[in-house]
Amino acid sequence: MDINIITVGSLKSSFLEPGIQEFKKRLSRYCDLNIIEVKDEAVPKNYSKKDIEALQALEGERITKNIPERSYVFALEIKGKPMTSIGFAKSLNNLQVRGYSSFTFIIGGATGLSDFVLNTADYRFSLSHLTFTHQMIRLILLEQIYRAFKINNNEPYHL
């Protein structure tokens, strides 16, 4: 199984790196994990809605170029549908039963995702009603993917 995480911008918070590396190591038992960073755009000081849409469009082009063919695409969005950890695990399992072996998760940058990227996604997914930095979401998402594999394999999970 392939898990792709496309994220806008590079990881700048060094304190998150050890956690990300730990979950990459843990996930290596279950899947081939690819984290793809696409360039983020600088947000001007006095920006308009039109400026944000233009930035999102540029980032969106970079994102969509990196989505593998025949991959089921989850766009992470605060307005997306929330799931429990068990529900997320069941969803991944059900998608595998339906023949999907590649999953792509898209994490937007500071300005969010363009409508085009959101409409490209198969599912708009919210990890929380809270707002997190896109860098923190990377770690949280990896932990939830790992938890889903543990649930689907009926394995205990203790940190």
Nearest to 60 by CA among 38, 33, 34: 38
Euclidean distance between CA atoms 59 and 76, whole angstroms: 15
* Residue 50 exposed, middle or buried by CB count within 10 Å (0-12, 13-18, 19+): exposed
Asked if residue 128 belongs to a known ligand binding site, the reply is: yes
Q: Which residues 6+ apart lie within 8 Å of 58 measured at CB?
A: 41
Asked if residue 80 belongs to a known ligand binding site, the reply is: no
Asked if residue 84 belongs to a known ligand binding site, the reply is: no
Asked if residue 134 belongs to a known ligand binding site, the reply is: no
Nearest to 83 by CA among 33, 38, 148, 149: 148
Asked if residue 129 belongs to a known ligand binding site, the reply is: yes
Q: How many CA atoms lie within 13 A of 105 on its CB side?
A: 24
Asked if residue 132 belongs to a known ligand binding site, the reply is: yes
Binding site, annotated residues: 76, 108, 127-132
Binding site, annotated residues for S-adenosyl-L-methionine: 76, 108, 127-132
